[in-house]
Structure 1
């Protein structure tokens, strides 16, 4: 059966558009190969600026931890991605089934097994639920601390379910405050401020972003998100604030 699965995967990689190259890891479920940015299909990892709480009850930069886990997993080896088409959620991204050259398990499965990503149902498929349950039971990666699902973080959902071995409902208020701080710290080199705003929904977005030089940049003292590039902000569903009229590089 395993041989059959390997043969089918190999056939799919031969019959579908694929890209193979050295990968640039953008976050725990996003890699760039050449000029294409792929989101790893079937999983959801913490956003780069997402915050969690570790097993010692201290705030942790779990988004960076997930990115670094993927960097370590790849280990400088070449990555091949089967292009599944435009990402229906993240603008400008492609969905990809990606694996390290010469390996059969996808990066998606490995990240879930290591506890740094969640299973995500896509196209009616729920392939990594067993891997997630095993990582949870063994307290791997994120599961040894306390966190919320990446989708809840993206929506700034303070009512989100708590996940992980270190979660305590009697400490919920403090845990939520740590994961959704009023003034989140800026990531090194990531200076773009994002603010979730209802008025952005008129244009099909979840929020607005401002770059340095925008008139209201300094006065936006409580951003919800920090982005490293305008491309990342747009992919997350944020649009540039209308009062930002300075010229920028796309």
Structure 2
């Protein structure tokens, strides 16, 4: 009769099995395998931490905008929204690197009288664009309202942003321009053109102090009123008959209708308002 072995743990069992000619297989991992395992766990943990940090503080714009791909260059007839924003074929475009007075903003002229500098800038832009159509824009980013931000030129190649700053209808916005239009601003200031003829608040300061007078985020994202009200009914004047006709979103000629403030055309907030002002509804 052979010996009786009592198992008192894995190590002792292996010794006894070895004596009996059988060795229990070892469950220990080799050092190289352990190293690879720890490396993989560490890499995964670092990736998770980085994702959490980026989600907390905000992703860079290039990553954030992956879900909103930028379109290629856009060309077409532009409707003026305000002094630094236009619309082409239903697409809102904010000029890059400049800031014009807000639609409801007033400035003081050389004699100290207040005038609507925001609307004056929009009217000047409308006349400038009308002189050489179509407008051509290339895009660099999206702003926090998902509007496209771009550099725009007239059909004759003149930069819209440079002209606006040079004429004093907009300011170089160092926060976003890196001084790209600083030379034009120096020229406008020296010649007392536009807002430089008197006293004014920088548009970004005016917005901060008059948050209740500007449109809400949802209106900036979806509305298209020249006065910054979010109103989107286009009041057009027929070039053939002189008849005043308003177009509602979704009507046949809405997108192609361009509002020219200099010609007396305007935006409305409701059909009642348009009819009261003497406009009739487009037939289709």
Q: What TM-score does the superposition give when structure 2 sets the normalisation length?
A: 0.49
Task: Quickly say closer, same or farther: Cα 1:209–1:37, change in 2 above 3 A.
Answer: closer
Match for residue 155 of structure 2?
101
Q: What is the root-mean-square deviation of aligned Cα atoms in Å?
A: 2.9
Q: Distance in 2 between matches of 1:72 and 1:208?
A: 28
Unaligned runs of 5+ in 2: 1-70, 220-226, 233-269, 271-284
User: Which digits, 9 at most, give the CA deviation of each residue in 1:181-208, with x for residues without a partner?
Assistant: xxxxxxxxxxxxx628xxxxxxxxx996
Match for residue 133 of structure 1?
186
Match for residue 212 of structure 2?
195
Alignment of 1:53-72 (within 5 A): 53-72=108-127
Confirm whether residue 83 of structure 1 aligns to residue 139 of structure 2. Answer: yes
Cα deviation, residue 41, structure 1: 0.6
Cα deviation, residue 140, structure 1: 0.7
| 1:39 counterpart SS class | strand
Cα deviation, residue 96, structure 1: 0.8
Q: Distance in 1 between matches of 2:122 and 2:188?
A: 18
Confirm whether residue 150 of structure 1 aligns to residue 203 of structure 2. Answer: yes
Match for residue 228 of structure 2?
227
Q: Distance in 2 between matches of 1:62 and 1:78?
A: 26
Q: Distance in 2 between matches of 1:208 and 1:41?
A: 21
Q: Greater shift after overlay, 68-77 or 133-142?
A: 68-77
Confirm whether residue 121 of structure 1 aligns to residue 171 of structure 2. Answer: no
Cα deviation, residue 72, structure 1: 1.4
- In the alignment, is the contact (CA less than 8 A) between 2:83 and 2:125 conserved in 1? yes
Q: Distance in 1 between matches of 2:185 and 2:163?
A: 10
Higher strand share: 1
- Length, aligned pairs only: 155
Unaligned runs of 5+ in 1: 1-15, 157-179, 181-193, 197-205, 212-225, 232-247
**Higher Cα Rg, which structure:** 2
Cα deviation, residue 92, structure 1: 3.0
> Segments of 4+ in structure 1 off by > 6 A?
206-211
